Amino acid sequence: MNNSHWIDGVAVPSADAATIDVINPADGSVAGVVPAGTAADVDRAVGAARAAFPGWAATSPAERAATVRRIGTGLAARRADLAAAITAEMGAPLSLSSTAHVDFPVAVATSMADLAADFAWTEELGNSLVVHEPIGVVGAITPWNFPLQQVVAKLAPALVAGNTVVLKPSEVAPLTARILAEITVEAGLPAGVFNVVHGTGEVVGEAISAHPDIDMISFTGSTRAGRRIASVAAGTVKRVALELGGKGANVILPGADLAGAIQAGLGMAFINGGQVCGSWPRLLVPAELHDEAIELAVAAAAAYTVGDPNDPATRIGPLASEAHRQKVDGYIRRGIADGAKLVFGGPGHPEGLTGGAYARPTIFAAVDPYSAIAQEEIFGPVLTIIPYADEDAAVSIANSTVYGLTSGVFGPPEQALAVARRLRAGQVDVNGGHWNALAPFGGYKQSGNGREFGRYGLAEFLETKSIQR
């Protein structure tokens, strides 16, 4: 990858010569190089975005939607390039990079473009005309676990709403941002509407959060980083949308298809190496089914082959970095020290895979619901099985963490729906309900604020004006 930012429609060198190596976690090799951006780079990108804003905001919603639709088409056309970059930069198996990592962004771009025609851009309310207008310049700060999806989830609604964007992708997984920038040009997006500044959160993220000419921050990442961004952004009273950590619970009720529920729940715990804020790392089962649940989970986990992410047989590749592998490994060791029953996997590298950031998929049983491994976000392939006494206890345990992003419930449909209503989470899947690009996604409690996807996600990037007549 060229060592450059993307500002005002072209690749530009950084104001500083310092660079950041992008490390392939499968083998430690250098997959690319990006600049270690500075506050001066942010100033330049914000200036381009500010200059482009009036013209882009003045275009019709239909024209903006058509451009976003072309971006979605461009993503699909460059699937192979995008998938290869994602696998190289953060280790997702190529089979997953080629599907979910690209398919989700395409679906988001397409669905957001579809919304423009029917969205209530203006409304009559008595003697008032209510007008929904773009906010201005949006600073987007995104994580490494879904490096393309998390960008498009912000970029597509921001553009349809009429905003311009300055993006800071994660320095761990920044390679897809350049491909996306090229796609936006091919789609006809005017220069300056989308800009990319590479660098660290401590430098570039701080500069974006504090910048007086940025009107909104949309951030996805850790709760710790979200708190810092909100604090810095408060200095200029800009709008802040935060999609933060999670510790989802998969609540299995009596009468559920136990084997099917565990199979689905394990997939939601181990997908993308467990590096998903919306995963379900806690499996809650009736106490009388605990031993059977262990047997089923262990048997299902044996199919999750760990290995080279370019091997079609691989289901779990390396974690995104060696530093993150060590963090996950520390939690596994903490679980053992705290007395949880290790029934699958464990600490250390998988056999024969010591040359990359590989972790062993791990299952703990008989877990104390208030222990560290059951309360804190591990962000790795670690499942904790927690027995419960009755439905009220299950709901209490599911709601016991500081997070409230996603959960699942399996059981008789009406009972499962009733339990889903009691869970303090922004999204709950009942009996394996499928992902919906039009449904709102976001968190309760310390999982953040604001919503992504559908008309709720579009509304996040709009100001509301009332004109009295």
Where does residue 310 rank: exposed (0-12), middle (13-18), buried (19+ CB within 10 A)? middle
Is 243 considered catalytic here?
A: yes
From 89, 243, 452, 460, the catalytic residue: 243
The rounded Cα 403 to chain-centroid distance in angstroms is: 15
Of 189, 263, 184, 242, residue with least CA distance to 404 = 242
Of 403, 359, 401, 363, residue with least CA distance to 383 = 363
Beta strand 382-388 with 362-365: parallel, antiparallel or unpaired? parallel
Is 277 considered catalytic here?
A: yes
The residues, ordered by sequence, that sit 6+ positions from 31 with a Cβ below 8 Å of its Cβ are 22, 23, 24, 88, 89, 175
Structure tokens at 38: 């500075």
User: Count H helices, E strands: the chain?
Assistant: 16, 22
**Nearest 10 degrees: CA dihedral of 269, 271, 276, 277?**
-30
DSSP-based three-state secondary structure for 124: strand
DSSP 226-240: HHHHHHHHGGGT-EE
From 277, 377, 452, 460, the catalytic residue: 277
DSSP 161-187: HT-EEEEE--SSS-HHHHHHHHHHHHT
Amino acid identity of 175? L
- DSSP code at position 123: E
Task: Say how far apart CA 8 and CA 191 lie, in whole Å.
Answer: 5
Q: How far is the CA of 315 from the CAs of 107, 318, 396, in angstroms?
A: 23, 10, 33
Structure tokens at 66: 């058509």
Residues assigned a catalytic role: 243, 277
